[in-house]
């Protein structure tokens, strides 16, 4: 970067004489205009920004007069402050907004110093370009350090939370005071009512789950939780996303999963399936809620992707889910072949949903009642079981459930 000419240096001298005033204007505008500072607005914040702005003005003046970029010491100080702000959870947008305000105030001050003289205005334009060069360098250093700090802290938090999950599962209902203190430090408020959620992602057409999809889902759930990313208790463990979410309220587990599931679908990532555990407070109830969430997840399907235990899990479904895998071998070949047809499965499902009413089933499937009767008769021919008889229907439904779990498709 070359040095500026004599006219620009004279403008710079007038600018330097007003440096305290300019720093004060930057501080006042930043405190008043940056929404991200929120409740942090105070006299102390005003003084801090004013002092920082004054230092940057001195650094800028030095860079212009020497024809060089911001010094390594200046950039190091910028990075250090960015790390501090990241750990204080000041939004990055707030810091960027403040830097832009400084750019606006400095550019206006240089223009005012130049006045109406054309040659002075040309020199002012050159100086303004130098302010952009300086601001780009410092803003880039700030943003890089902020992002690195956030990513590093989030990685440490997730590792700590994953270890906490393992420890709470080992401890059962008696976690002890030390483990409770760890939980509090990692964002698990023991006075709040929570549920454990277990979530997985399914790709369409049996495609393999893309690398990073679990991470994407975890981020979507954290964002939907209504908490800052650092405070959202969401981890990935054994390819399953585990979250501790509100048991009730505007950001309860179902609301979070609805929002995250919609985001997953819109992004073409696949289907989000999840199980919700029972509510708990403290840390002693974590394990029970986790195991109930795992049980609920086992019952989630494409048609019912979110299942809450025990409310959405029937005894019949649970008996089939927990039976030995050899149960599938008991399904006769004729029934297995018939149930491979999605029309047969859909007809049985609709018949059950309509409480075995031919008229209601036909209406739901947009069929004539006689057409439905033909289908039911055809199922009887194919399977040797009459779906109009309750015992035969139960056998067909049970077989459909077992085969669905074995084959991974939705009945």
- Are 24 and 148 contained in the same domain? yes
In degrees and rounded to multiples of 5, residue 280 shows phi and psi of: -150, 155
* pLDDT (0 to 100) of residue 411: 35
pLDDT in tens, 165-179: 999 999 988 888 888
Can you tell me whether residue 298 is helix, strand or coil?
helix
Residue 24 belongs to what domain range?
6-152
Residue 281 sits in the same domain as residue 191: yes
pLDDT of residue 98: 92
Same domain for 309 and 324: no
DSSP single-letter state for residue 172 = T
Flag whether 174 is in a domain: no
> Do 37 and 74 share a domain, yes or no?
yes
More confident residue, 226 or 2: 226
Domain match, 10 and 148 both: yes
Answer yes or no: do 91 and 138 share one domain.
yes
Contact predicate 289/194, CB 8 Å: yes
Residue 36 burial class via C-beta count within 10 angstroms: exposed 0-12, middle 13-18, buried 19 and up: middle
Same domain as 198, residue 97: no
One-character DSSP codes across 105-169: HHHHHHHHHHTT-HHHHHHHHHHHHHHHHHHHHHHHHHHHHHHHHHHHHHHHHHHHHHHHHHHHH
- Domain boundary among the residues 295, 313, 331 is at 313
Question: Would you call 296 exposed, middle or buried from its count of C-beta atoms within 10 A (0-12, 13-18, 19+)?
Answer: buried
CATH of the domain at 62: 1.10.490
Length of the chain: 411
- Measured CA distances, 15 to 104, 112, 165 (Å): 14, 9, 58
Largest CA distance in the chain: 101
| 117-121, 135-139, 258-262: least confident range | 117-121
Q: Do 124 and 32 share a structural domain?
A: yes
Q: From residue 123, how far is each of 2, 15, 101, 106, 128 by CA, in Å? A: 14, 13, 22, 14, 9
Last residue of a domain, which of 260, 278, 313?
313
**pLDDT at residue 39, as a whole number:** 53
pTM above 0.85, yes or no: no
Could you tell me which residues are beta bridge partners of residue 196? Answer: 244
What confidence score (pLDDT) does residue 122 get? 86
Tens of pLDDT, residues 335-360: 888 988 989 989 998 998 898 999 99
Helical residues (DSSP H) of 323-357, grouped into ranges: 333-339, 342-353
The per-residue pLDDT for range 306-337, each reduced to its tens digit, is: 998 777 665 556 555 555 556 667 788 888 88
Instruction: Judge whether residue 408 has pLDDT over 60.
Output: no
Boundary residue ending a domain (313, 328, 346)? 313
Q: Count CB atoms within 10 A of the CB of residue 354.
A: 17
Q: Is 167 within the bounds of a domain? A: no
Question: Closest by alpha carbon to 190, among 289, 291, 280?
Answer: 280
What is the structure's pLDDT at 409?
41
Pick the range with the lowest mean pLDDT from 55-69, 98-112, 188-202, 325-339. Answer: 325-339
Same structural domain, 137 and 212: no
Domain contains 278: yes
109 domain-assigned: yes
Same domain? 296 vs 334: no
pLDDT in tens, 115-132: 888 888 888 888 899 899
pLDDT at position 206 is 47
pLDDT greater at residue 195 or residue 264: 195
Same domain for 145 and 40, yes or no, is yes
Share above pLDDT 70 across residues of the chain, in percent, rounded to a whole number: 89
Q: For position 325, what pLDDT does the model report?
A: 58
Q: Which CATH number does the domain housing residue 388 bear?
A: 1.10.10.2840
User: What total of structural domains would you count in the chain?
Assistant: 3
Lowest mean pLDDT among 119-123, 250-254, 276-280, 383-387: 119-123
Co-location of 54 and 90 in the same domain: yes
**For residue 276, what is the domain's CATH number?**
3.30.70.270
Which H, E and C letters describe 53-93, residue by residue?
Answer: HHHHHHHHHHHHHHCCCCCHHHHHHHHHHHHHHHHCCCCHH
**Residue 187, in any domain of the structure:** yes
Cis peptide bond N-terminal to 310, omega within 30: yes
Q: Mean pLDDT over residues 12-36, rounded?
A: 90
For residue 120, the model assigns a pLDDT of: 84
pLDDT of residue 1: 53
Q: Cα(205)–Cα(191) distance, rounded to whole angstroms?
A: 43
Burial class from Cβ neighbours inside 10 Å (0-12, 13-18, 19+) for residue 203 reads: middle
């Amino acid at each position: 970067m070359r040095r500026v000419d004599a006219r620009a240096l004279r403008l710079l001298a007038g600018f330097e004489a007003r440096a305290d005033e300019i720093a004060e204007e930057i501080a006042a505008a930043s405190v008043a205009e940056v929404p991200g500072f929120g409740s942090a607005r105070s006299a102390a914040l005003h003084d801090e920004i004013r002092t920082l702005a004054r230092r940057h003005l001195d650094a800028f003046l030095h860079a212009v007069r020497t024809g060089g970029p911001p010094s390594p010491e200046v950039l190091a100080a910028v990075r250090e402050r960015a790390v501090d702000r990241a750990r204080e959870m000041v939004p990055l947008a707030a810091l960027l907004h403040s830097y832009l305000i400084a750019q606006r105030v400095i550019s206006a001050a240089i223009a005012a110093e130049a006045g109406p003289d054309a040659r002075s205005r040309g020199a002012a334009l050159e100086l303004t370009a130098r302010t952009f060069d300086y601001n780009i360098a410092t803003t880039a250093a700030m943003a890089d350090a902020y992002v690195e700090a956030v990513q590093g802290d989030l990685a440490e938090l997730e590792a700590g939370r994953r270890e906490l999950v393992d420890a709470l599962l080992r401890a059962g209902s008696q976690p002890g005071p030390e483990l409770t203190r760890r939980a509090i430090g990692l964002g698990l408020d023991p006075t709040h009512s929570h549920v454990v959620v277990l979530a997985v992602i399914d790709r369409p057409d049996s495609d393999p789950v893309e690398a990073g999809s679990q991470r994407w889902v975890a981020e979507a759930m954290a964002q939907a939780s209504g908490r800052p990313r650092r405070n959202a208790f969401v981890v990935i463990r054994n390819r399953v996303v585990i979250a501790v979410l509100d048991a009730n309220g505007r950001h309860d587990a179902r609301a979070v999963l609805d929002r995250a599931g919609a985001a997953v679908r819109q992004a073409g990532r696949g289907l989000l399936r999840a199980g919700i555990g029972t509510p708990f407070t403290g840390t002693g109830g974590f394990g029970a809620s986790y195991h109930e969430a795992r049980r609920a997840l086992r019952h989630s399907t494409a048609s019912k992707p979110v299942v809450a235990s025990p409310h959405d899990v029937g005894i019949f479904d649970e008996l089939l889910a927990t039976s030995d895998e050899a149960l599938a071998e008991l399904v006769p070949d004729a029934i297995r072949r018939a149930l491979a047809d999605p029309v047969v499965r859909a007809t049985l499902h609709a018949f059950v949903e309509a409480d075995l009413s031919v008229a209601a089933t036909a209406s739901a499937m947009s069929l004539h009642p006689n057409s439905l009767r033909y289908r039911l008769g055809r199922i009887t021919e194919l399977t040797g079981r009459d779906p109009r008889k309750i015992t035969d229907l139960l056998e067909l439904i049970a077989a459909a459930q077992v085969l669905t779990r074995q084959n991974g498709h939705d009945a």
